[in-house]
């Protein structure tokens, strides 16, 4: 696979995932998702997303890998259906614009400074775990959330975009690595978008 074909494949897979998410948002109402018991929704989300990640990571078959990717896209799409449903369309558009700009900048930086982003991968992972714990404490112990955590999580996933793009650029040019790169970038992008929705909605 040539460099151009490899990068095109990553881009096409990303566009496919985002297109499916758009279709889900257009066709699935938030009310229908809210009618599902919360425990069932969360179990379904985690089962789909975790199983999808495992399938993509472990399968050598392009078809099976694509099935895993679409499982992840479906799980994240359900979250997006809820996230955008109660937000002003102008806020959604602003979050889309900012997410696109951040993604482009971080992919550029990942290409320019691959060694740096690969070096900070451990720090990014630990930071994300710490923020998960902090937010769980805020939700279940303090019964409140604070806006600064959204900013921190956005910065962490910005770092992950740079890292994952650097790793994808140095990987052998084949479909499996293109799919792995697309999955990582897709999850980073969606996480940034959802956090920006929270940030902009609070400001508005």
User: What integer best gives the mean pLDDT of the chain?
Assistant: 93
Q: In the prediction, which pLDDT does 76 show?
A: 96
Average pLDDT in the 142-158 region?
85
Q: Please tell me the pTM assigned to this model.
A: 0.92
Q: In the prediction, which pLDDT does 25 show?
A: 94
Query: Phi/psi zone of residue 2: left (φ > 0), alpha (ψ -120 to 50 degrees), beta?
Result: beta
Q: In the prediction, which pLDDT does 52 show?
A: 95
Could you tell me the residue ranges of all domains in the chain? 3-203
d(CA 93, CA 57): 32
* Closest among 78, 77, 54, 76 to 65, alpha carbons compared: 54
Of all helices (H) and strands (E), which one includes residue 200?
helix 175-203
d(CA 134, CA 136): 6
Q: What share of the chain is helix, strand, coil (3-state, %, to 5)?
A: 85, 0, 15
List all residues 6 or more positions away from 8 whose beta carbon is below 8 Å from its beta carbon. none
Q: In the prediction, which pLDDT does 189 show?
A: 97
Is the pLDDT at 136 greater than 80? The verdict is: yes
Is the pLDDT at 204 greater than 70? The verdict is: no
d(CA 50, CA 60): 17
- Residue 99 backbone phi and psi in degrees, to 5: -60, -45
Which pLDDT band, with edges at 50, 70 and 90, does 3 fall under? confident
Highest mean pLDDT among 9-18, 84-93, 195-204: 9-18
Average pLDDT in the 75-88 region?
92
Percent with pLDDT over 70 in the chain: 98
Residue-wise pLDDT for 5-49, tens only, equals 999 999 999 999 999 999 999 999 888 998 899 889 999 999 999
Residue-wise pLDDT for 108-126, tens only, equals 999 999 999 999 999 999 9
Q: In the prediction, which pLDDT does 122 show?
A: 94
d(CA 195, CA 140): 19
């Amino acid at each position: 696979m040539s460099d151009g074909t490899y990068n095109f494949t990553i881009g096409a897979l990303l566009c496919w995932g985002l297109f499916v998410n758009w279709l889900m948002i257009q066709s699935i109402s938030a009310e229908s998702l809210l009618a599902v018991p919360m425990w069932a929704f969360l179990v379904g989300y985690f089962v789909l997303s975790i199983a999808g990640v495992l399938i993509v990571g472990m399968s050598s078959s392009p078809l099976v890998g694509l099935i895993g990717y679409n499982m992840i896209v479906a799980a994240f799409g359900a979250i997006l259906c809820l996230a955008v449903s109660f937000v002003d369309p102008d806020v959604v558009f602003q979050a889309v614009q900012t997410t696109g700009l951040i993604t482009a900048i971080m992919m550029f930086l990942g290409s320019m400074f691959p060694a740096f982003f690969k070096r900070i991968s451990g720090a990014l992972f630990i930071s994300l775990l710490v923020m998960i714990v902090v937010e769980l404490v805020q939700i279940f112990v303090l019964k409140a959330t604070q806006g600064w955590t959204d900013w921190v999580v956005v910065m962490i996933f910005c770092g992950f975009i740079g890292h994952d793009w650097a790793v994808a650029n140095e990987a052998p040019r084949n479909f499996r690595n293109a799919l792995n790169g697309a999955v990582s970038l897709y999850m980073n992008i969606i996480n940034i978008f959802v956090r920006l929705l929270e940030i902009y909605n609070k400001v508005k």
